[in-house]
Homo-oligomer: A and B are copies of this chain.
Amino acid sequence: MDALLLVAHGSRRQQSNNEVTELADKLRDSCHDDYKIVHAGFLELATPSIPEGIENCIDDGATRITILPYFLNSGRHVVEDVPDFVVAAKNRHPDIDITIAPHLGASPLMVELLVESAKSVSSVQVPT
């Protein structure tokens, strides 16, 4: 059974963490045909951690897990920290297939998304 784990940095600001959890909920609703299981995991400052998120997927019956790094830049977190957690999880669970998708900022759809955001500018107020 296929699972998605949305991995974010985590914030001291609970509202930011809630936004990630809500995004995972939206993902669960929108790609149920491909991924029966969707969870969130945080690198630091929030729970569940990435290892806990991976365990949550496995507890739900996942046999394949795709890690989705919700990061804009290919910094140390994307290049080292997230892969380190994945290697450790693969060592704990050699029977589970765990892969890492490109980080968000690398998506070829990013330009399209930004253009759409620019078009919806009228909905945002600028304080005067």
Give A residues with C-beta under 8 Å from B. 4, 6, 8, 11, 13, 15-16, 19-20, 23, 26-27, 30-31, 34-35, 66, 68, 70, 72-76, 83, 86-87, 90, 98-118, 120-124, 126-128
Contacts and interface: CB of A to CB of B under 8 A. Distances in A.
A102 B123 contact: yes
A92 to B, nearest CB: 14
B104 A117 contact: yes
Given A83-B126, A104-B113, A11 B121 contact: no
A61 B17 CA distance: 40
13 contacts: A13-B75, A23-B114, A27-B114, A27-B115, A30-B112, A34-B115, A72-B104, A83-B126, A86-B126, A90-B126, A100-B126, A101-B120, A104-B117
Contacts of A112: 30, 109
Contacts of A124: 99-102
Contacts of A66: 118, 121
A100 B74 CA distance: 26
Contact of A98 (B23, B68, B117, B126): B126
Contact of A114 (B68, B106, B116): B68
